[in-house]
Amino acid sequence: MNDLVISDAVQQLNRAVGLIVPDVIVLATVCLMFFAAPFLVSERGEAPAGLRHRWGWLSLLSLLVAGYVWWGTSPQPVTTGPFRLDELTWFIRGVSLAFGAVLVLLTWNQADDARSAETQACLLSIIAGVNLVAAANDLVGIFIALELISVPTYLFLLLPRRDAPAQEATMKYFLLSIFSSGMLLFGMSYLYGSVGSTNLEAIYAALTAGRAHPMPILLVVAVMMMVAGLAFRLTAVPFHFYAPDVFQGAPNAAAAMLSFVPKVAGFVALYRVLAVPVEALDHWSLAQFSEPLLWWLAVLSMFVGNLLALLQTDIRRMLAFSSVSHAGYMLVGFVVGTATTGGPTGFEALLFYLVVYGAMTLGAFAVLGVLQRPDRRMESIEDLSGLSRNQPAIALLLTLFLFSLTGLPPTAGFLGKLNLFLAAWGTGSESGHWLAIWLAVNATIGAWYYLRVIGTMYLQPAPMAVTATDSNATPSYLAMGLCAIATLGLFAVPGWLWALIQHV
């Protein structure tokens, strides 16, 4: 009898691991890096010249192998096991692996040879965490996967640079991150107390079995706390306070990662917990209860992010508040959900915008990463004065990414905002129409500070020569080129991405 139990447990474990093979490959590479790195660095912290290139190639190789395995998999029916491989998991895994490779290129030369292994390993851990958030079929699994993103982020912020701004950025992110994790865990505990299970399928069944009497107060508190905990990762108002200071003090690659990766994980976790399929009005629905809360988060994030971005003189603080406003745009799609009478649904528009936003924001940070002043790194918007004369090609690429962030054709950002607008307007409801109106208003406000940067590059004289980094920045140039191709390509031929999203 014991042998049968052990055999059944082994089979279940094998089936579970079989659903996360790409993530296991990435995490195995992380373990290899952490284990091997100390043997290649002396006690005085000296490493062989060019060691960071080896770790960069190893990181790309692991993502390539994981991507190959991912492409050979297909969605499977969801069970009550610890992991799932549905269409959303498959799609998010492909997105995270692709943009993970771009982030590896951006991180390539951010850390010196002695700390490059740990820096790349932390980045790979973050990418694996995003994949596991999508694959988790349990509240405990979602929380652990989110912490697999948060904990390496603390090191990722500090390892490339140990100066005072980087330390301040790390401490602020650390303190607010653990606070948000506490709120999320508090909400999850109340959800467990209400339904009696942490398994998502069991939670869905318990909520669907609820009847016409009001939801327990525990569920109401659970929704509020979980939304608050995940809003931190989205940089949604009022949980955005860390963003400008952290973006300003963090290394360039870390700021780029924070602008995109936590948003992917946050929206996936929100969808898993809140977007419960309900077929009758007399069932408990976390989505229906959370909709007004998320509606206000979307509107406040759009307005606060854009209005405060207008006041910024530091380019990274401006992009931080821009990230807040884009979180609001994407929340519009989440609030709309599938309540569209025609055209794209809110979820489809959200997934499309996530991909587009990743390309244009990582591209903008890639441009900032290759620019330098003779005396310090690029900081203020005025540092870009006359860039079109000193570095015309780089100025043109930054213009492309800023055009896309604005939502102007011929860039993918135009299609992304248009789809969100159509999804909100297509609901036919008053709240949906107001969301569409506020989105259009805020897109207009955002155009001002993006175009101000472009005007600085093309219309202002250059007080001193701004140069691009030498040939050692080849990975950053490659990342910049890939993001530019995606930004233009998704405008010209978006059909293939829409086909994938519609399957989700």
The arithmetic mean of pLDDT across residues 14-25, rounded, is 84
CA distance 416 to 420: 6
CA dihedral 353, 449, 441, 227 (to 10 degrees): 50
CB 133 within 8 A of CB 100: no
pLDDT at 112: 80
How confident is the model at residue 8, as a pLDDT? 58
70-84, 222-236, 369-383: which range is least confident on average?
Answer: 369-383
Tell me which of 18-22, 410-414, 451-455, 475-479 is least confident: 18-22
- Per residue in 419-465, pLDDT (tens digit) is 999 998 888 788 888 999 999 999 999 999 999 999 988 888 776 66
* pLDDT value at residue 278: 46
Gap between the Cα atoms of 475 and 357, Å rounded = 20
Res 126: pLDDT: 95
What's the pLDDT score for residue 159? Answer: 80
Q: How confident is the model at residue 280 (pLDDT cuts 50, 70, 90)?
A: very low
Q: Does residue 371 have a pLDDT over 90?
A: no
CA atoms lying within 13 Å on the CB side of residue 360: 33
pLDDT confidence tier of residue 51, bands split at 50, 70 and 90: confident
Is the Cβ–Cβ distance between 442 and 324 less than 8 Å? no
The share of the chain scoring above pLDDT 90, in percent, equals 46
Q: What end-to-end distance do the CA atoms of the chain give, in Å?
A: 42
- Give the sign of the dihedral formed by CA 198, CA 201, CA 203, CA 206: negative
Task: State residue 250's pLDDT score.
Answer: 85
pLDDT per residue as tens digits for the range 191-230: 888 888 888 888 888 887 765 466 678 888 888 899 999 9
How much is the average pLDDT of 408-416? Answer: 92
**pLDDT tier at 91, thresholds 50, 70, 90:** very high
Over residues 383-404, the pLDDT tens digits come to 888 888 888 889 999 999 999 9
pLDDT score for 291: 84
CA distance 283 to 302: 32
Q: Would the CA dihedral through 484, 131, 254, 323 be positive or negative?
A: positive
- 30-39, 106-115, 123-132, 251-260 — which is least confidently predicted? 106-115
Mean pLDDT lowest for which of 212-221, 280-289, 301-310, 487-496?
280-289
Asked if pLDDT for residue 3 goes beyond 60, the answer is no
Rounded CA gap, 475 and 400, in Å?
A: 19
pLDDT of residue 445: 93
pLDDT tens for 343-362 read 788 899 999 999 999 999 99
3-state secondary structure of 3: helix
List, in sequence order, every residue forming a beta bridge with 314; answer none if it has no partner: 380
Helix and strand totals (H; E) in the chain: 20, 2
Containing H/E element for 480? helix 474-492
Q: How far apart are CA 49 and CA 369, in angstroms?
A: 21
**What per-residue confidence (pLDDT) applies to 467?**
61
Mean pLDDT across the chain: 86
Instruction: Answer yes or no: is pLDDT of 79 > 80.
Output: no
Mean pLDDT of 65-79: 87
Residue 407 host element (H or E): none
Alpha-carbon Rg of the chain, whole angstroms?
23
Least confident of 82-91, 262-271, 306-315, 366-375: 366-375
